[in-house]
Structures are given as structure tokens and as C-alpha cells.
Amino acid sequence: MALSGGFLHVVKTEMLNLGLIGARVEKIHQPSREEIVLSLHTHGGAQKLLFSANPATARVCLTSRTPENPPVPPMFCQLLRKKLCGGRLIEIAQDGLERIIFFRFQCRNEIGDEEFITLSIEIMGRSSNLILLLQKGPELRIIDAIKRVTDEVSSVRRVLPGLLYELPPRENRLSLLSFSQVEFEQKLQNFSSEKLHKVLIKIFEGICPLFAREAAFRASGDTDVAVSDIDSEKIIRLVEFMRLASVSLSEKPTPVMLSDTENKPCAFAFIDIKQYGTEGITVQHFNSANALIDCFYHERAELNRIAQRAGSMLKTLNNRYERVLRKIDARRSDLAACAAREKFRKWGEMINANLYRLKSGAESLTAHDYESGEEVVIPLDTRLAPAKNAQKYYAEYKRLQNAEKALADLIKDSEQELIYLESVLDAASRAVTDSDLLEIKRELIETGYLRGNATTANSKNSKKPKQEKPAEPLKFRSTDGELILVGRNNRQNDALTLKTAKPDEIWLHAKDYAGSHVVIKSAKPSEKTLQEAAQIAAYCSKARTSSRVPIDYTQIRYVKKPAGAKPGMVIFTHNKTLYVTPSEEVFEGLKI
């Protein structure tokens, strides 16, 4: 769902009420290509201001989260630091109820002269942008933008350094904050044959489809009502609702977030939503519009960012996975053909037994199979002597015998590689931070699946890469108070199982599924702890959407790593198996 101009007005008003005016810019980070985070020092304490120009998650809000940042700041981030660090925020302004907000800063340039810099966030779907502007008299000149717009991108409006800043084209629509009933009714008459909720979006600026459907519902009891079905009584109810929304915007907003039947956030609004009744949609009220936006978009933004960064790596892994599958199929076909080797051995023996009957140049030998007693016709090579034909069939038997053993070993190796690739794909699918992806990338470089240097996998530009401390395993506390550790990827699985865990502690893993190694930091955990750890192991595996997942468990002393095995690959004995259903509730509830 896109952020509407009306909700953006509530976000801006909150920022003003929290005392952001006068705040000093202390730090600036760019955690991803289309996101900027400004760390501000206000009279009330530190605040972080997040700007996103990503089409799927475009927004501006205060955030309490600390995103991971690349070791080397991008060029736009360096420019913002040069221009804004040390400056003071002196104004936050919105263009009506359009989805554009201006943050105006009072700064000092390199020689100490005062200058006014504006950071403009434009939330417009694919055209979303973050633009840095310099005020020169009444004009605003573009210093740069997080996404430059050339003639090839847009013939209507260019966004390039040095150009005069112009507002995007806008339609002549009414504002919820200041409209008259007469104006509204006049515009409404022009759309008598259309659905009311679609018409409201054309008439009013700053509203979203959810709000428009709510207005139609409040007026008529039907979200899909047509304008032609709206009588004078419904017009009055509609105008009353719009007036109520105006008060919500300026004085008493009611930020609400809607979640679907799977408890996933799907929409939000600045006024209470009643159109869904008891259809399974959950309405959650927030005290802060900024907190709502931060919560709603965070998971979506993280998954989108991780997916972008993991894209090429996952493509390489999937291609390799498909190639190994094809290789296994081909080798199994060749192995099946090796079953005919006994026929060639018997043919060789039968030729030797009938040499006295054969003459040079014979095309075939008809003889009785000494095992089945059936008559068999054996083809002969006319260019070879009878004894040489026997040797030829013996040689073919020996070749197939050797091939069978080699193919069996090759298939076993390929199946082990398949298991390893599944484990990496599973870890990548559960990666939630850049550090998670970086560790997986290093692992793939070390094992030869990706090109590059594992020590510089974090940056192409750093001359002396900083050796980052590996991320710690996920930590959980069972209901009975026992500590449970979970590896995030194969490298962590090895470290957790082979180095961190003690011999008498309990090790768990999903049986026959790729997944994380799980360790209970106790020699004798309770049945409750064992059950919870098994549920976590099932959830952190490829079987997370299944039920009754088998989980093997044993003591660490019985878990070994074979020589030459790939990361995360172990063998174990003395194990028992229990069956559990993966639980996100247990996973989230016990995490520490």
C-alpha cells in the first residue's frame, strides 16, 4: 500500500509536535541504494529520520531501528554529509496534501558562509525520489538526487544537478483540510455514472483507495456504491465523514493498521476503519503515525532489500542446483545401462566354450545359455578372430563393472552436493540482514561456487577491507529458562556444533531436510525445552511450512564432521527422533 498525502500530513505534524525544528544533524547513513537515515539531536534527545525512495516502500518517518550500513558510504551519502552535517532543521513543509515534504536546513559551507539546504522527499510510486536542493534567493537549484532523471527517463520533468527545481505536475483537486460542500457537490455531478470510491480519489487530494472505500461505506453502507445512487441524505453523511476526517488530519488522528487472516499487515489509515466488519481483518491502533509507518514498511523493505542483494547469488545457486540434478539423472541412466554387463561376461564365456565350432569371419554364434538352457544368438565382429571376440566381450564387461563403481561414487558425491546446495538455499531464504548474506557469500567463495576473495566480499571499493566480526547465532530462552542457540548459516552451524557447544549438550536438526543446527546449552533439558527446541529446529529448516516434521537429537559428542566435508555437513549417531509442527509463535516468543 502506498503512503497517502493525508497520512503524510499526520506524520509531518507529529514530527513538528515532537520538537524536530531546531534539531542538529549529527550523522548520515545510506543503508541501501534508495534509503537515507539522518541522526538528529533534539532538545528531547536523539531521533533518527528515515527517507526511502524505493518504489515499493517509499516513505519518510521517524524510526527506532538501527539499519546495517555498508563499509564504504555511497557518493550521495558523502554529498549529504558534506552539505548537511552540523546543520539545523528549521522547517518541515508539505505541498498541500500532495506526497511531497520539504525538510529545510540552515547550514555552513566549506568557507563558513551560511546557506539554506532543502531535502525534498517525493513519494510517487516508481517516480519516488530524494532531492537535495540549494536555495538561491527565491529559487531552488538541484544539487543532486538519489535518482537522477534524464530526458530518456522522463520528457516531462528532469532531475539533474544544476537545474532549477520544479514541482511535479499536479491536478486541481479539493483538499480535505479546506473544502466547501458546494464545491464538492459540483464536482460530484460530473461523475454520476462511476463508482463513488473512485470518484472521491479524483476529487480529493491526499486520500487513498482504502479511505475512499471507507467514505463510501460510511455514507451508504456499501463500499461499491455508484454516484448515481447517492441521495441528499447520503451526501450529508458523506460530507460529515469528510469533515470528521479533516479533524482527524489536523487535530485527532487515529492511526490504524490492518492485518489479513495470516496476521500480515496489509493497509493503514489515519482514521478508524469499519468497512470490513467481522471478515477476519484485524485492526490495530497505534499512538503514533510514525511508529505505524516504521512498523508497516520495515519488514517489507528489509525483505525487498535482501532479495535484491541476494538475487544474483540465488540465481547462481539455483542454476548449479538444476545442473547437479540433471547430472544425477544422466548418471543414473548410465548406471542402469551397466546392469547389462553380466550378459557380456556370459557371451565371452560361451564364445570360449565354442571356439572349436567357430571359423574366422563368422557373423554370429548360436549356442545354449548354460544357465537358462535357452538358445542365444551372439553377434560377432567379422574382423576379429573368435578368441578376440571373447576378449572384446570380457573387456566390455570389465568396463561396465568399473563404470558402475565409478558412477555409484559420482552419484553419491552429487547427492551430497545437492544436500549442501539445499542447505545454502535454505539459509539464504532465511537471511534477514546484510551480515547474513555476507557470511553466505563468503562461504560460497571459499567453496568455489562464487568468484572473488572471501576477505573482500563485503566491498568492491575498500582497499583495506575491515575484518568484520562474524554474527552470533540466534539466541532463544526456553520456557524453563534454558539457553538455545541456532546457526544462521553453514559457517555458523560448524562453529556452533564443533567449537562452541560442549560434549554433553544436546544437538538437534531436522531429519532429511536442509536446516540450522540447534544446540540446547544443557546436558539434561526438560521435555518442554526439548519440544520447544525441536519446534525451533523445524521452523529454521526447509520444512517450516510442513507438519509433523521429524527432528533428530543427540549429544554433541556423537556429532562428527567427515574429513573434506563441506560447511555444515556432519554425521551423527546415538540419535533419537521426535515429531513436531514448526511454530512461528514459539520462534518469535522465545527469541532473545
Distance separating alpha carbons of residues 144 and 290, to the nearest angstrom: 27
Confidence at residue 44, expressed as pLDDT on a 0 to 100 scale: 87
Reported as type and span, the H/E element at residue 510 is strand 506-510
CB 395 within 8 A of CB 388: no
Confidence at residue 461, expressed as pLDDT on a 0 to 100 scale: 45
Confidence at residue 243, expressed as pLDDT on a 0 to 100 scale: 92
Residue segments in the chain with a per-residue pLDDT below the cut of 70: 1, 262, 278, 299-305, 453-470
Closest CA to 68 of 417, 309, 326: 309
Confidence at residue 154, expressed as pLDDT on a 0 to 100 scale: 84
Confidence at residue 464, expressed as pLDDT on a 0 to 100 scale: 47
Relative to beta strand 35-42, strand 45-52 is: antiparallel
Confidence at residue 462, expressed as pLDDT on a 0 to 100 scale: 44
Distance separating alpha carbons of residues 223 and 276, to the nearest angstrom: 10
Residue-wise pLDDT tens digits, 299-323:
666 666 677 777 778 888 888 899 9
Distance separating alpha carbons of residues 506 and 518, to the nearest angstrom: 8
pTM of the model: 0.61
In terms of Cβ atoms closer than 10 Å to its own Cβ (0-12, 13-18, 19+), residue 262 is exposed
Confidence at residue 369, expressed as pLDDT on a 0 to 100 scale: 82
Q: Spell out the alpha helix ranges (H) of 18-106.
A: 75-84
DSSP states of 320-386: HHHHHHHHHHHHHHHHHHGGGHHHHHHHHHHHHHTGGG--TT--EEEEE-TTT--EEEEE--TTS-H
